[in-house]
Chain A
């Protein structure tokens, strides 16, 4: 089975645990882990939605290509967890 990200033809790394290929899975884990630092920085009102939208849309922030793709996918899926 292919990774759920658009145009990614790589296989899912572990079918029962994730829907991403290896690189997108690492990007996804990094996104989740780093959110904690964003929460500390901006306060507890800051939401996952704010976070993902900022990651995707702010051109002045340097971020990985795979991170943007996962963030876009989560926004499309309205996955705010």
Chain B
């Protein structure tokens, strides 16, 4: 314990019997309290914190004491996970198989304790104090795997495992009055926890912890035992394969050779100048393109036919998290983790349903007329919502389902003033909801074919003939229309320009946050809720960098040694196997599919882990040497910038002054009887990377600077470089 706590409650609470409700976050607790009792009374539990002889009133734990239809209730809040899996005992040896749940703050060193940890500690102490006085318990965290684990672990750690058999569960997908009241009554009447989800969640926490701690320690021990160096290295069940995706993509990019192809640019003189498309498409042989140019230059383009076809464009399916993240990236370039953060805030405000869902189905009991009429009260949606109500129709649904939650939809609750990403994400959700009620849009696809001295060219366009759902979709209608000029069969136009367009294949693209998450989803690793965090943790570990995601040298070393000495760690199959075991546990508990318990999963998981650790232990020396050699060569590469331009003998290196601690570029010949004392200044913030490319303006060496959180930039070492002056001027102008 960080400090001693003295918890006092108002007398009227201590004397009464009550049910304890446990919400996931303070804002959810306060919303639920408000819905269950209009006259809810916020109770401030005074928590006195005594540490080092000092007594602080901080922090205070806020709870809500409410009179519900079914009796008195004390609603307390966690702050996400209050407990975490930790090693039983001390030391950093491996393998380590003994673990326990422990309050999160206890894991931290004293110097790292933050106000957030103090609040967590106070929350645990307050729940401990109050839980013992309660007669019943209701878990009211988000209804998903994590929510089940948050509630289940807190109560079982404080009151013992047995209590979980009697703990009631509120299951809701929106923080709205109706749904909260309904789920509360169902809980009181006997709705229990979902042990399938709970056990699946426990398995994930246990095995992820065992995987992470043992494999990471195996890497660090190998390095320490072979070279004496210490470096924080880590890998994990989903981290490993994700790193593999980026490394494999990087390899393809770095070794990519483009392939040439040819196109003919041809312009005719109609009312405006119009570019036609060669109907033979892109050509692989240059001489074929040359021949077309020869045949068409100075000729007349004759319209030989005009073809019009109509097609249907169905309304979009209801949004699940993955689709929401795709659309937010497509229309607003919002990253998947920021979209989730916005959606989570909107959910906490009660304006949308629970966002961590795979479902494309609306809840069967959802009253669409009511929801639409409530949305109509939100400024900006009145007219469209009215038109959708007029349709008197049921919305379409997609095929995907989720056992815990329906799709993402607006609840009709008026949001408070929305700004930034929250506003954009909300609009996307509302517009998608409207669109699902609409008819298919009817598209008219047009093609005009031309003959130019026996060479075929054409123009294509598309036009929305009947708007259908697009009428309600706002800006979220997909590709824009492309209208064609009004030509008639037999029209002739002079060819005014023909030229060869030499093209080269572009090669694979770098992953970005969204495409990497999509890849993880395709490969079925991680969950919709954890994928974004795993990508973030690879960035924190400095294995990945940049918006166009690149693997760093350290990330590459880790991937290389793991794929060489224990390929399973970075394989998708193993991670997928574990997800399947989770499904088996859930189905088994829910009596759907055979018998497979948490213990069975743990045994199988440990057998897999043991195999991987054995491989790494047997190759400890090789693993350590590989990492150490790579680190040394990377350090060398990272320091050397190029040949000295003054003495022409030494090498320019990044040097850190032992006196001032500042970094600069200096010549290696300085260390040889001070033969050369050339130096160049460097920016003191951000990560530096040497680049072999010389400055285009003065051919001086350059370094790439990665300032945290901003776009990387390239710096020419020459302080009087013309490009650098230009850059400074632009910067000043922008600031001005």
- Asked whether A61 is an interface residue with its Cβ less than 8 Å from the other chain, the reply is yes
Inter-chain contacts of A64 with B (CB < 8 A): 253-257, 507
Residue of A34, A40, A61, A66 touching B285 (CB-CB under 8 A): A40
Distance between B558 CB and nearest chain A CB, rounded to angstroms: 16
- Asked whether A49 is an interface residue with its Cβ less than 8 Å from the other chain, the reply is no
In angstroms, Cα B254 to Cα A64, docked, is: 4
Interface of A is mostly: helix
Chain B residues in the interface with A (C-beta under 8 A) = 251, 253-262, 284-287, 504, 506-507, 633, 636-637, 640, 692
Nearest-neighbor residue (CB-CB) of A58 within chain B: B504
Interface centre among B259, B261, B506, B637 (most CB of A within 10 A): B259
Inter-chain contacts of A61 with B (CB < 8 A): 258, 504
Chain A residues in the interface with B (C-beta under 8 A) = 7, 9-10, 23, 26-27, 30-31, 33-34, 37-38, 40-43, 55, 60-67
Inter-chain contacts of B633 with A (CB < 8 A): 9-10
Report whether B637 and A67 are in contact in the complex, using a CB–CB cutoff of 8 Å: no
Inter-chain contacts of A10 with B (CB < 8 A): 633
Distance between B356 CB and nearest chain A CB, rounded to angstroms: 38
With A62-B506, A63-B257, A64-B507 already in contact, 7 other A-B pairs whose C-beta atoms are closer than 8 Å = A9-B636, A30-B255, A41-B284, A60-B504, A62-B507, A64-B256, A66-B255
Contacts A/B (CB < 8 Å), 20 sampled: A7-B692, A27-B254, A30-B255, A33-B257, A34-B259, A37-B259, A38-B260, A40-B284, A41-B260, A41-B285, A61-B258, A62-B256, A62-B258, A62-B507, A63-B257, A63-B507, A64-B253, A64-B254, A64-B257, A67-B256
Report whether B286 and A43 are in contact in the complex, using a CB–CB cutoff of 8 Å: yes
Nearest-neighbor residue (CB-CB) of A37 within chain B: B259
Report whether A34 and B257 are in contact in the complex, using a CB–CB cutoff of 8 Å: yes
In angstroms, Cα B262 to Cα A61, docked, is: 14
Report whether A42 and B286 are in contact in the complex, using a CB–CB cutoff of 8 Å: yes
Nearest-neighbor residue (CB-CB) of B289 within chain A: A41
Interface of B is mostly: mixed
Inter-chain contacts of B637 with A (CB < 8 A): 7, 9
In angstroms, Cα B258 to Cα A64, docked, is: 9
Once A7-B692, A9-B637, A10-B633 are accepted as A-B contacts, the answer to whether A63 and B258 lie under 8 Å apart by CB is yes
Report whether A63 and B256 are in contact in the complex, using a CB–CB cutoff of 8 Å: yes
Inter-chain contacts of A31 with B (CB < 8 A): 257
Q: Which 8 A-B pairs have the closest CB atoms?
A: A9-B633, A34-B257, A64-B256, A27-B255, A64-B254, A41-B260, A26-B255, A30-B257
Nearest-neighbor residue (CB-CB) of B262 within chain A: A41
Nearest-neighbor residue (CB-CB) of A35 within chain B: B257
Once A7-B637, A9-B636, A38-B260 are accepted as A-B contacts, the answer to whether A66 and B254 lie under 8 Å apart by CB is yes
In angstroms, Cα B256 to Cα A55, docked, is: 11
Report whether A41 and B255 are in contact in the complex, using a CB–CB cutoff of 8 Å: no
Inter-chain contacts of B258 with A (CB < 8 A): 34, 61-63
In angstroms, Cα B288 to Cα A42, docked, is: 10
In angstroms, Cα B637 to Cα A55, docked, is: 25
Inter-chain contacts of B256 with A (CB < 8 A): 30, 62-64, 67
Distance between B665 CB and nearest chain A CB, rounded to angstroms: 17
Report whether B257 and A55 are in contact in the complex, using a CB–CB cutoff of 8 Å: yes
In angstroms, Cα B256 to Cα A41, docked, is: 18
Inter-chain contacts of B260 with A (CB < 8 A): 37-38, 41-42
Report whether B255 and A67 are in contact in the complex, using a CB–CB cutoff of 8 Å: yes
In angstroms, Cα B637 to Cα A7, docked, is: 8
Distance between A18 CB and nearest chain B CB, rounded to angstroms: 14
Residue of A30, A33, A62, A65 touching B504 (CB-CB under 8 A): A62
Interface centre among B251, B258, B287 (most CB of A within 10 A): B258
Distance between B392 CB and nearest chain A CB, rounded to angstroms: 54
In angstroms, Cα B637 to Cα A27, docked, is: 20
In angstroms, Cα B284 to Cα A41, docked, is: 6
Once A7-B637, A61-B258, A64-B257 are accepted as A-B contacts, the answer to whether A41 and B504 lie under 8 Å apart by CB is no
Inter-chain contacts of B261 with A (CB < 8 A): 41
In angstroms, Cα B254 to Cα A31, docked, is: 12
Nearest-neighbor residue (CB-CB) of A60 within chain B: B504
Inter-chain contacts of B506 with A (CB < 8 A): 62
Inter-chain contacts of A43 with B (CB < 8 A): 286-287
Interface centre among B251, B256, B259, B261 (most CB of A within 10 A): B256
In angstroms, Cα B508 to Cα A62, docked, is: 10
Nearest-neighbor residue (CB-CB) of B287 within chain A: A43
Inter-chain contacts of B253 with A (CB < 8 A): 64
In angstroms, Cα B284 to Cα A10, docked, is: 37
Nearest-neighbor residue (CB-CB) of B560 within chain A: A22
In angstroms, Cα B506 to Cα A31, docked, is: 15
In angstroms, Cα B609 to Cα A66, docked, is: 36
Interface centre among B255, B256, B258, B286 (most CB of A within 10 A): B255
Inter-chain contacts of B640 with A (CB < 8 A): 7
In angstroms, Cα B692 to Cα A33, docked, is: 27
Inter-chain contacts of B692 with A (CB < 8 A): 7
Inter-chain contacts of A30 with B (CB < 8 A): 255-257
Inter-chain contacts of A37 with B (CB < 8 A): 259-260, 284
Distance between A66 CB and nearest chain B CB, rounded to angstroms: 5
Distance between B347 CB and nearest chain A CB, rounded to angstroms: 42
Inter-chain contacts of A38 with B (CB < 8 A): 259-260
Distance between B280 CB and nearest chain A CB, rounded to angstroms: 15
Report whether B287 and A23 are in contact in the complex, using a CB–CB cutoff of 8 Å: no
Nearest-neighbor residue (CB-CB) of B696 within chain A: A59
Inter-chain contacts of A26 with B (CB < 8 A): 251, 255
Report whether B255 and A23 are in contact in the complex, using a CB–CB cutoff of 8 Å: yes
Inter-chain contacts of A42 with B (CB < 8 A): 260, 286
Distance between A28 CB and nearest chain B CB, rounded to angstroms: 9
In angstroms, Cα B285 to Cα A71, docked, is: 23
Inter-chain contacts of A27 with B (CB < 8 A): 254-255, 257
Distance between A46 CB and nearest chain B CB, rounded to angstroms: 9
In angstroms, Cα B251 to Cα A64, docked, is: 9
Report whether B286 and A65 are in contact in the complex, using a CB–CB cutoff of 8 Å: no
In angstroms, Cα B636 to Cα A10, docked, is: 12
Distance between A25 CB and nearest chain B CB, rounded to angstroms: 9
Report whether A41 and B636 are in contact in the complex, using a CB–CB cutoff of 8 Å: no
In angstroms, Cα B260 to Cα A43, docked, is: 12
Distance between A64 CB and nearest chain B CB, rounded to angstroms: 4
In angstroms, Cα B256 to Cα A61, docked, is: 11
In angstroms, Cα B285 to Cα A67, docked, is: 23
Inter-chain contacts of A63 with B (CB < 8 A): 256-258, 507
In angstroms, Cα B635 to Cα A9, docked, is: 11
In angstroms, Cα B258 to Cα A42, docked, is: 14
In angstroms, Cα B640 to Cα A13, docked, is: 24
Nearest-neighbor residue (CB-CB) of B283 within chain A: A41
Inter-chain contacts of B636 with A (CB < 8 A): 9
Nearest-neighbor residue (CB-CB) of B634 within chain A: A9
